[in-house]
Amino acid sequence: MTDVTEAAARRERILRAAVRQGVLDPERSALAGFVDLDGLADTVGALHRAFPGGPRVLHAFAAKANSLVPVLAELRSLGMGCEVATGGELDRARAAGFEPDRIVFDSPAKTRAELERALSLGVMINVDNFQELSRIDTLLAGDTPRSRIGVRVNPQLGGGTIAAMSTATQTSKFGIPLADPGSRHRLIEAYRERPWLTWVHTHAGSQGCPLELMAQAVAQAVEFAEEVNRGREEPQVTGIDIGGGLPVNFAGDEVTPGFDAYVDQLNEHVPDLFSGRYEIVTEFGRSVLAKNGFTAAHVEYTKSAGGRSIAVTHAGVQVATRTVFNPDAWPLRITAHGPDGGVKHGTPVRQDIAGPACFAGDLLARDRALPSLEPGDIVVLPDTGAYYFSTPFHYNSLPEPAVYGVRTDGDEVRFELVRPAQEPYDGTVPALRHGDLVHR
C-alpha cells in the first residue's frame, strides 16, 4: 500500500504535470478532478488479497461512489463486479461492460419495470421489503429465476457517528427489520415458501460506523442464514452479501482501517462467514476510490475581512456538496500549491478557503492554517475520489468540471479524459410541444 509521503508526492507530481500539459489552466479550466488509476489498481489488489476465497468472493463496487463509466470499466478490468442502486446506475454498469451475473441490484424503490429488466438480464437482486417480494412472485409466475436473489435484512443494531449514513438503526428505511416483533419469523416463512431465495444481504452503513458494528451486522445476517438452513439436507442460503461501508481516513494519507483489519473483525465476530459454506459478495465504494482521487482548483482572488484571510477558489459547493453543507461530518484536507503545482512551504496563516458560489456558506474550510495563498495558486482536495465527482450540485449554473484518469509510466504522466467538463449553456430554450403532457 502506498505510504504517506509517497501519496503526497504522487499528487504533487500529477498536479505539476497537469499544469505543464494544460489540463489545469487558470483561464480555460481552473477546476478539475483526477483519478489515480495506478493507485486504484493497488487498492483493488489489496481488497482481493484481504479476502480469502478467490472466486467464491465477488467484490461489487458501489457505483454511487463513482459512477463515471470509464472508472467503472477500469474496476471491471481489475476484476471487480458492480453494485447498483438505481436503473440509471444499472445502465452505467452495463455500459462499462459488467456481465449481468456480476451486477448486484440494491434499491429500496425498484419499479416493476426495473425488476422485470433485472430478472430478464439475470442481474443479482437484493429485495428490500415484503411488498417487493410479492412483486417478484408475480413477475416470476412460478418460474425459477436466473438471477440470484436475496433479501436485505436490517439487524437493528444502532448507528454510527453520522446519522444520515447509518442504515442498521431501529427505524432505518432499508431492508426487513430482524428485531421487530414477528418480523424475523415472517421472513423465515418467506424463505421457506421460496426456494429461490438463496442469499442474505446486509449493509450496516457507511462512513462513521465502527468496524465492530459492521461485523456484528454481518454476524446477524449469517445467523439468519443458518436459521433458514437449519434441518435441511441441502442448505437453501448459499451466499451472504456483506455490503460495503469500510470508513476512510479523511485526516491524513494513511490508509486506515485497511481491508485486512475489517477481515480480522469478521473472522472474530463471524467465523462462519469463511467456513466455505457461503459465497460472499462485498459492496465497497468509498474505501476503493476516496483516496485515489483528488480535486484541484485555482485561487482567483484573495482578500481579508474582519481580520480573516479569505482565498476565493473555483472549488466549492458544486463539487464538495456534503463538505460545504455538513462540514463537521465531512471535513476535507486541503493542500496549498503554487501556480506550477509545487507544494507551498510558507508559514501557515489561518484562512477561509471559499468556493465560487453565491452564498456565504460556500466554504471548503474555515479558519484553516495553510501557507498564505495568492491569486493563481492552486488548492488540492485529497480523498475526493468517491462521492465527489459523481455527486454534482448544479447551484448557480456552475458546470461539472472535467475529470481525468491518470497513469504514470516511468517519467511520463498521462491523462485520459474520464468525463468532459459540462458544456456551457448553448442558448436553447426547451419548448413544450402541444400534446407532450397529454400523451406521456
Which is nearer to ligand PLP, 29 or 206 (by Cβ)? 206
* 67 binds ligand PLP per the rule CB under 6 A: no
28 with 36: CB under 8 angstroms? no
Beta bridge partners of 385: none
- Give CA–CA dist 284/288, Å, rounded: 6
Instruction: Classify residue 91 by burial, with Cβ atoms within 10 Å: 0-12, 13-18, 19+.
Output: middle
* 132 binds ligand PLP per the rule CB under 6 A: no
Q: Give exposure, 98-133, as e/b (b: 16+ Cβ within 10 Å).
A: bebebbbbbbeebeeebbebbbebebbbbbbbeebb
Structure-block grid coordinates of residue 180: 421487530
Place of cell 477500469: 74
Which is nearer to ligand PLP, 63 or 311 (by Cβ)? 63
11 with 380: CB under 8 angstroms? yes
Return the closest-CA partner of residue 207 out of 157, 154, 257: 257
Return the closest-CA partner of residue 319 out of 225, 417, 385: 385
285 with 386: CB under 8 angstroms? yes
Return the closest-CA partner of residue 128 out of 175, 87, 84, 173: 175
- Measure the CA angle with vertex 288, ends 400 and 155; round to 5°: 110
* 65 binds ligand PLP per the rule CB under 6 A: yes
Which is nearer to ligand PLP, 259 or 294 (by Cβ)? 259
* 284 binds ligand PLP per the rule CB under 6 A: yes
Residue from 89, 106, 253, 400 binding ligand PLP (CB under 6 A): 106
Return the closest-CA partner of residue 305 out of 375, 376, 377, 367: 367
Which is nearer to ligand PLP, 86 or 422 (by Cβ)? 86
Minimum CB separation of residue 328 from ligand PLP in Å reads 18
* 283 binds ligand PLP per the rule CB under 6 A: yes
Residue from 239, 285, 385, 405 binding ligand PLP (CB under 6 A): 285
Residue from 243, 316, 385, 401 binding ligand PLP (CB under 6 A): 243
Helix (H) or strand (E) segment spanning residue 359:
none
Q: Which stretch binds ligand PLP (CB under 6 A): 59-67, 229-237, 372-380, 397-405?
A: 59-67
Which is nearer to ligand PLP, 67 or 198 (by Cβ)? 67
- Measure the CA angle with vertex 336, ends 23 and 44; round to 5°: 65
Which is nearer to ligand PLP, 63 or 317 (by Cβ)? 63
Q: Which stretch binds ligand PLP (CB under 6 A): 115-123, 228-236, 285-293, 309-317?
A: 285-293
Minimum CB separation of residue 327 from ligand PLP in Å reads 19
- The residues in 155-214 that bind ligand PLP, with binding defined as CB under 6 A, are 203, 206-207
Which is nearer to ligand PLP, 283 or 377 (by Cβ)? 283
* 291 binds ligand PLP per the rule CB under 6 A: no
359 with 376: CB under 8 angstroms? no
* 259 binds ligand PLP per the rule CB under 6 A: no
- Give CA–CA dist 237/222, Å, rounded: 9
DSSP string, 131-199: HHHHHHHHHHTTPPPSS-EEEEEE------S-GGGB-SSTT-SSSEESSSTTHHHHHHHHHHH-TTEEE
159: number of Cβ within 10 Å: 19
> Count residues contacting ligand PLP (CB under 6 A)?
18
Minimum CB separation of residue 322 from ligand PLP in Å reads 13
- Give CA–CA dist 319/313, Å, rounded: 12
Which is nearer to ligand PLP, 173 or 232 (by Cβ)? 173
Which is nearer to ligand PLP, 106 or 362 (by Cβ)? 106
Which is nearer to ligand PLP, 211 or 312 (by Cβ)? 211
* 89 binds ligand PLP per the rule CB under 6 A: no
Which is nearer to ligand PLP, 64 or 322 (by Cβ)? 64
Residue from 245, 355, 385, 401 binding ligand PLP (CB under 6 A): 245
* 286 binds ligand PLP per the rule CB under 6 A: yes
Site string for ligand PLP, 14-53 (x = CB under 6 A): ----------------------------------------
Q: Which stretch binds ligand PLP (CB under 6 A): 218-226, 242-250, 338-346, 391-399?
A: 242-250
* 83 binds ligand PLP per the rule CB under 6 A: yes
Return the closest-CA partner of residue 60 out of 2, 106, 122: 106
Residues that bind ligand PLP (CB under 6 A): 62, 64-65, 83, 85, 106, 203, 206-207, 243-246, 283-287
